[in-house]
A and B are shown apart, each in its own frame.
Chain A
């Protein structure tokens, strides 16, 4: 039984492949990295949600000066309902209170439906921009709802979560990222 090296090549290739497939089981193919990380927030301007008194729309300039959590949501989006309590908890967190803003983009929604949604669940957002055409969201590279962006005081996008915020996600990714950005201070 002579062991010729070339007959071991298929085995070697397969072992490498199997290792790759194994590693692949723990990846998240649906969560895409944003190419806008560390880049300035694109220029957008959104009107307020019709019928919601006291809550203004916003433009990119309004994001400068404070760290902002920008959440894209819609009344027709079921995971948005599921993550809503997390958003409310975020603004109530004593360590973050007063140091962050929570803005919302209402994505491709009918104003009446959005109002009903906020009426039912409560409004955690300081400002809401109504993006009925979805164009502003495209400027941000949004491909699904909900998505959440973290924008620093200079107006740079620092983090994007293309998934609903679960309690786990909040503790392991969002809050640490927020703390890191806040700790940096003005750059």
Chain B
């Protein structure tokens, strides 16, 4: 019955991809459980290929899920829980790379790329148009008049 009630509480939850978790692992407090899932979705399962600990059925993932829930219940902040895992497994366990000098290119790259390429395009377009809009020199104007005049004579 308790399991059924727990399930009901999650019926209104926002999108979560927690998929390998078993009912006996879930915390009783839905807010804590939601926090634990959110943290778990950012932690990589190291024995799987490209899954978070919430998505994986592996034993290590199960153990880490339990640890995340223990820490959350013990009152750790999200950052503290993550640090607990990172201090043992290293930065590689994070699915969302931390913002630090080594990852500036990664995080700021896309925006800079768009801004830079966009600026380059705009500047080139402006330059092209200013070339096109430059007034004719006297020689060029005379040549135009000659050509236009000769056509007018012919027709």
Contact = CB atoms under 8 A, between A and B. Distances in A.
Contact of B60 (A34, A140, A143): A143
Contact of B47 (A35, A108, A143): A143
Q: Is the interface of A mostly helix, strand, loop or mixed?
A: loop
Given A143-B46, A143-B47, A144-B47, A34 B63 contact: no
Interface string A98-141: 00000000001000000000000000000000000111001111
Contact of B88 (A33, A35, A144): A35
A32 interface: yes
Interface in A127-169: 133-135, 138-141, 143-144
Contacts of B88: 35-36, 42, 138-141
Interface residues of B, number: 14
A133 B47 CA distance: 17
Interface in A4-52: 32-36, 42
A138 B86 CA distance: 11
Contact of B89 (A35, A108, A134): A35
A108 B59 CA distance: 10
A32 B90 contact: yes
A135 B63 contact: yes
Contacts of A32: 46, 89-90, 92
A135 B59 CA distance: 12
A33 B90 contact: yes
Nearest to A35: B90
Contacts of A42: 88
Contact of B63 (A33, A35, A138, A144): A138
Contacts of A36: 88
B67 interface: yes
Contacts of B63: 133-135, 138
B86 A134 contact: no
Interface in B3-17: none
B137 interface: no
A93 to B, nearest CB: 31
Contacts of A35: 86-91
Interface string B55-78: 000011001100100000000000
B58 to A, nearest CB: 10
A141 B90 CA distance: 8
Interface of A: 32-36, 42, 108, 133-135, 138-141, 143-144
15 contacts: A32-B89, A32-B92, A33-B90, A35-B91, A42-B88, A108-B59, A134-B59, A134-B63, A138-B63, A138-B67, A138-B88, A140-B88, A143-B60, A143-B89, A144-B47
